[in-house]
Amino acid sequence: MKGRTPRSFRRQFLAYIYNQKAAANNSQFPLSKLEAFHQEASPNQYKIVQIVSDYELYLEGYWMGHCVYSYAEECCNGESTIWSLKQLDEKEEWVSKVTIEVKWQKEITQAYARFNRSLNKHQEELVRAWAARENLTFDW
């Protein structure tokens, strides 16, 4: 507790509990018929991939700082699929930049950057290019 406020300790404790729950469940979501997306735009590489498990969904929400983990039940039921736009960083690791929700009727209902920020122009272009290729509509 040293150096922590009660509020920050509670937040860290809850993150630990959610992590344990997600790791214990680790249920697999139904796979979408949509294709993943990959684009190389020198010097950057991007990809859009489906999040396919409870634990991956938890990690996406934790890293991105938003509530995407609350959609786990919808993903298990096949009502929604969650996708992540990732960028290859200088350490050769894929880093999440945008989280995308696609409803079963092939409609993008949400797309947010870290901490629920709006997408920048380049991120929006990438999401729209993928959506056009997959015949997805927008409602965001």
The predicted model scores a pTM of 0.83
Between 25 and 29, whose confidence is greater? 29
Residues 127, 111: contact at Cβ < 8 Å?
yes
- CATH class, 6-138 region: alpha beta
For 7-58, give the DSSP string: HHHHHHHHHHHHHHHHHHH-PBPPPPSSPPEEEEETTEEEEEEE--BHHHHH
Give the pLDDT confidence of 73-86 residue by residue, as tens digits: 899 999 999 999 99
Q: How many residues appear in the chain? A: 140
